[in-house]
Amino acid sequence: MAERLRLMCVHAHPDDESSKGAATMAKYVAEGVDVHVVTCTGGERGSILNPKMDRPDVLANLTEIRRQEMERARDILGVRQDWLGFVDSGWPEGDPPPPLPEGCFAAQPVEIAAEPLVRLVRSFRPHVMTTYDERGGYPHPDHVMCHKVSMRAWEIAGDPDAYPGTGEPWQPLKLYYHHTFHRERIVALHEAMLARGLESPYAERLEDWKPDHEHERRVTTRVPAADYFAVRDKALLAHATQIDPDGHWFAIPLEVHQAAWPTEDYELAKAIVPVELPEDDLFAGVREIVAEYDGRPESLTV
């Protein structure tokens, strides 16, 4: 029996998995890939971003409610999911920003915070991982920390001398950064709305958004996922404290989004298999390797 492909997606908070790469995950699940979401924190210090959920009873039980929302989104996407077990660092407000809360995720030493992720990598044995770039996608301290622990796990999970007692070594074959909210995509959606005589929700944002050509060029991999945008939207709505169904997340009609920008976009950051860029598949170059080596990356000489 052929080795089943495995994808691990590492995210900072519950809801991040539904706003970044959810359609890609749903697509691969439908194709038979085993997909595992890792959620680094419980989102305990998150704000309630849906006015309809901004109630004292919700705020008092936010931690448990966000866990329940994550369970619903997980089931909608058809993925496995584990909590890394750290506490949300919150968004630091002020100039200069205040110190991080004691004991929060972003305040942990990277070597310590990476240990439970290394354990999960060695247990699940992913062929491909996704995470955030060095900026965290945006500069939330938990997103930046998510990048750091993901890179540590990538670098060390295959080392038999590292983190003894956390399982047999395993080296994933490729690692990607999400590039969801880049300017090229937003411009395409904006222009598609205007071409249809509709009001774009991005007009004001684009006026202040200076092009970052170096960052735009980092996209290497565009996964066709339009057929799964509806699944993504359903998963987003499961996070009712974070997603306003009447808000900006759904300001672009589904059919417009599918036509104007039918992919989810990534940057290939690390690989130990031969690659040919650009790509349209996170498993490009992996499928053949897995079949040839029966899923044992440690046997590769690349």
As a whole number, mean pLDDT of residues 103-132 equals: 98
What fold does the segment set 6-181+219-299 form as a domain? Answer: Rossmann fold (3.40.50)
Q: What is the pLDDT of residue 293?
A: 72
Runs of H (alpha helix) within 104-167? 110-113, 115-124, 141-156
For the chain, what is the total number of helices (H) and then of strands (E)?
Answer: 13, 7
- pLDDT band of residue 212 (cuts 50, 70, 90) is confident
Instruction: Decide if pLDDT at 302 tops 60.
Output: no
What average pLDDT does the segment 66-75 reach? 98
In this structure, are strands 6-11 and 34-41 parallel, antiparallel, or unpaired? Answer: parallel
Per-residue model confidence as pLDDT tens digits over 20-36: 999 999 999 999 999 99
Residue 51 has pLDDT above 60, yes or no: yes
Average pLDDT over residues 88-113: 93
pLDDT at position 113 over 90: yes
| Lowest-confidence pick of 50-54, 131-135, 207-211, 242-246 | 207-211
Residue 85: name the closest of 104, 102, 107 by CA. Answer: 104
Q: Are residues 111 and 36 in contact, defined by beta-carbon separation less than 8 angstroms?
A: no
- 115-143 average pLDDT score: 96
194-205 pLDDT tens trace:
999 999 999 998
- For residue 211, pLDDT over 80 is answered with no
Q: For residue 109, is the peptide bond before it cis, meaning its omega torsion is within 30 degrees of 0?
A: no
Is the model's pLDDT at 264 over the cut of 50?
yes
> Is the pLDDT at 2 greater than 90, yes or no?
no
Measured CA distances, 297 to 6, 114, 149 (Å): 13, 21, 21
pLDDT single digits (tens) 5-23: 999 999 999 999 999 999 9
| pLDDT bucket at 213, cuts 50 / 70 / 90 | confident
Q: Could you give the percent of the chain with pLDDT greater than 70?
A: 96
Place 94 in a pLDDT band, splitting at 50, 70 and 90: confident
pLDDT for residue 73 is more than 60: yes
How far is Cα 105 from Cα 90, in angstroms, rounded to an integer? 10
Work out the average pLDDT over 142-148: 98
